[in-house]
Structure 1
């Protein structure tokens, strides 16, 4: 009878992470050994560590110990330089604490954080890079295996000669249970970056693609997540490069984005080429960057519900201008500037195949839109008038906002996020399934639908 282990070998092996977090927020030691710290001509040599620490926010920290009787009083809090002598790496640092030697046999300690990334080795021709992800979704993907089991945990992203694999860790369920209990950060996925043609690439090329990946994955997750703890290899499989930096990444929280937890990974695979096409466009890069930023801040409710409604309007305006004026030239600059905000949004939604009417599922907003003193003809007018009532100082407008019940504001917030998600998905030429945040169906998976323009 065929053993389970041999059955598992039928599937591609799971990627092996270089770094792990056994528990959320557990520091990762990157270096331990001889150190040299300098500051304006003052030089000390000693022993210490460099670690990737998560709290209060992800950062690279160092601890330097001086074990002889040489005083540390010549150092000051502020900028300095740190040499990792055993691997010949260098970093600018900020010294935040100095504990001088007061007694014999007492170590003198210096600690602080690294201002810039630490790059171990300077190899520029790489065959592939292994990276790590924090707090990402439990998607359902291609089958992968270890000697202990098999699971559907691989995502493949391919576009513009780049090939990216991302594997959900085998113990993802336990990691998420701990994250939900403790909050913060944990490594949940490991990935590889390589060229589709297997040709070598430079670290500068890799940095560009990994930044693209940060924005793509953050848009999909609903908060910021980044490829971190990068390790590069040559074509013989030897480690030749490593880059450690405190990328922008957010603590775990329960949020909904267009990509639902446990959704098929093929949704991300279908989206990636269209995303990258827009992202690499001279016209679109900055507007997409702003729009995703405001999308993430709106989900986080920066400035509460009211602040999110205002931020989303900023995203709508820059996307409408870019699509209607710059790309398609449907309307002139002067004509666009004369349009009311509701009409700008209305035309943007129409171009992107997004329904204009207030959805029936948003019962409180729909009821308010039919009131005689409001008479909102569609969702674009409802959303922009609520936004205008928030930001304009006119007492009459201010009172109109104060008259809106909170459930109506929540519906407007949901409508704005739904609009922004669909506009971006349409711009990325997506034709797959997404999580419809306003469907309000009883069972979670029933809210996963095909985009409305298909």
Structure 2
């Protein structure tokens, strides 16, 4: 357990349950002292220390073997631009044996080329420590040399070995005001509300926001549209048993799905490192796409309750995705939701959202329900009927929100204004999915946008319904300006909402 820097005012004791108690004296203006104490734990530490916005993260410096089996000296790093990737750079001296490589004809499986794997030196079979930030690569040799700068992947250690825990980093996470307090082992006197913990399907995941992420840092991340690691995570088995790196990767993928549902955009669990008896014995160097940080992508999270809400969503997703078929359905439906939510042509976004709702309706009523495929087709002769049955089951009423004035204008001129919001949205969707000469499909951009916003909101609700989330959500589509904490409402299928008229407009 890390101890603070020596300070005569700090006293550290431990309670019977092992919790640390930090006590110090705080002095008043008149010179008198009062004793202050806290029991906040240290934040989770990770093998790699996160940096600032757009700052590359060096993972390794030294000798490595590239995908061709050639030995180089150089660096392996996470770089953010033009997209997140593991990048290797280095040099080596050329020999006579290398001349034959100049005339080699590259070959590969069809149109695909595999990302090469890099192999690094591992003294004592441990994950090498993160290089010193002051490290400077050596000058290229004076004789003939070859340089390499390439995207790579890497795995250190054996993913089948037993692990006690895995830590990882999350880029572009979430800003929350309700985290439990933690502190740095190097400064025990300045705790911050940074921790969220969740459990599901026998796993416990802890997420700690790094100390540097104050309000100014979140604004800078948002305004830059860049990327940085904002959270350190830790994964363990709830019962304390061991697990393999392969199992950890599968669970981290399920956590990624939960984060996408809660945040409405893409992020992931980067650089997992596995520990056994406190030693780093396994690591995986791979990346996935990351969307720019903004709170506006999330329909559900209110800053004052974001940790509790997101923790609940993640727990539900872990429980739900323990079944492979359910995980597959959630994965595909999320692809529709996040793609539409993070920015796409408005008309195409509307079509994608409706397709996602169709997928979830079929999964709910046929894959896991009482309909057969044949009876489903007989009972539902069109897309609107399929989606309507799902939204009805979710207790979602479907008037056009009063402040969606552009969608209301479309409703008024569609079939004499007899269609509700769903009927109007489906009619607009049919204009682009089934184009017919002479049928009006030239809607204005704001009309497409409001239809797409509403359809994608329904899709997001259907995803929460899929994983049985019962908590509150932010009234994201309500009219007017709302403040965090004042704009929460229960999901429409929650007991508190049953028997009420629930609509997206709040």
What range describes the TM-score normalised by the shorter chain of this pair? 0.7 to 0.9
Q: 2:352 aligns with which of 302, 311, 331?
A: 311
Q: 1:20 aligns with which of 49, 57, 81?
A: 49
Does 2:301 align with 1:279? no
Could you tell me which residue of structure 2 aligns to residue 429 of structure 1?
468
Unaligned stretches of 5+ residues in structure 2: 1-22, 27-33, 107-113, 128-138, 495-506
Q: Report the CA distance shift for 1:333/1:447 in structure 2 as closer, same or farther (over 3 A).
A: farther
- CA apart distance, 1:440: 2.7
Could you tell me which residue of structure 2 aligns to residue 393 of structure 1?
435
Q: 2:40 aligns with which of 4, 7, 11?
A: 11
Contact 1:433 1:451 in 2 (8 A): yes
SS of residue matched to 2:465:
helix
Contact 1:175 1:188 in 2 (8 A): no
- CA apart distance, 1:152: 1.7
Q: Report the CA distance shift for 1:258/1:3 in structure 2 as closer, same or farther (over 3 A).
A: farther
Greater shift, 172-181 or 64-73, is seen at 64-73
Could you tell me which residue of structure 2 aligns to residue 412 of structure 1?
451
Q: Report the CA distance shift for 1:374/1:206 in structure 2 as closer, same or farther (over 3 A).
A: farther
SS of residue matched to 1:308:
helix
Does 2:121 align with 1:85? yes
Contact 2:197 2:205 in 1 (8 A): yes
Does 2:317 align with 1:288? no
Does 2:472 align with 1:450? no
Contact 1:432 1:451 in 2 (8 A): yes
Could you tell me which residue of structure 2 aligns to residue 109 of structure 1?
147
Structure 2: distance between partners of 1:127 and 1:284: 28
- Partner deviation per Cα, 1:395-451 (whole Å, 9 max, x = no partner): 133xx221x333322221121122111111122222211123211331242443222
SS of residue matched to 1:434:
strand
Does 2:166 align with 1:144? no
Q: 1:252 aligns with which of 293, 296, 304?
A: 293
Greater shift, 205-214 or 140-149, is seen at 140-149
Q: Report the CA distance shift for 1:259/1:378 in structure 2 as closer, same or farther (over 3 A).
A: same
SS of residue matched to 1:396:
coil
Contact 2:40 2:183 in 1 (8 A): yes
Q: Report the CA distance shift for 1:426/1:361 in structure 2 as closer, same or farther (over 3 A).
A: farther
TM-score by length of 1: 0.87
Q: Report the CA distance shift for 1:82/1:407 in structure 2 as closer, same or farther (over 3 A).
A: closer
Q: Report the CA distance shift for 1:82/1:369 in structure 2 as closer, same or farther (over 3 A).
A: closer
Could you tell me which residue of structure 2 aligns to residue 164 of structure 1?
205
Contact 1:354 1:423 in 2 (8 A): no
Query: How does 1:97-246 map onto structure 2 within 5 Å?
Result: 104-105=142-143, 107-114=145-152, 116-120=153-157, 124-139=161-176, 140-146=178-184, 147-173=188-214, 174-234=216-276, 236-246=277-287
Greater shift, 345-354 or 329-338, is seen at 329-338
- CA apart distance, 1:360: 2.5
Contact 1:278 1:284 in 2 (8 A): yes
Number of residues of Structure 1 aligned to a counterpart in Structure 2: 435
Contact 1:255 1:299 in 2 (8 A): no
Query: How does 1:11-90 map onto structure 2 within 5 Å?
Result: 11-37=40-66, 39=68, 44-67=70-93, 73-75=99-101, 82-87=118-123
SS of residue matched to 2:346:
helix
Q: Report the CA distance shift for 1:52/1:261 in structure 2 as closer, same or farther (over 3 A).
A: farther
- Partner deviation per Cα, 1:102-154 (whole Å, 9 max, x = no partner): 9945643122121x432245561111111110101112221222324122221
Structure 2: distance between partners of 1:6 and 1:74: 75
Contact 1:195 1:201 in 2 (8 A): yes
SS of residue matched to 1:311:
helix
Structure 1: distance between partners of 2:35 and 2:90: 49
TM-score by length of 2: 0.78
- Partner deviation per Cα, 1:351-394 (whole Å, 9 max, x = no partner): 11212222223233234323364524322211111111122220
Q: Report the CA distance shift for 1:246/1:85 in structure 2 as closer, same or farther (over 3 A).
A: same
Unaligned stretches of 5+ residues in structure 1: 91-100
- CA apart distance, 1:311: 0.6
Structure 2: distance between partners of 1:270 and 1:434: 11
SS of residue matched to 1:157:
strand
Q: 2:391 aligns with which of 349, 361, 367?
A: 349
Q: State the Cα RMSD in Å.
A: 2.9
Could you tell me which residue of structure 2 aligns to residue 95 of structure 1?
none
Contact 2:179 2:194 in 1 (8 A): yes
- CA apart distance, 1:74: 4.1
Does 2:333 align with 1:333? no
Q: Report the CA distance shift for 1:55/1:148 in structure 2 as closer, same or farther (over 3 A).
A: farther
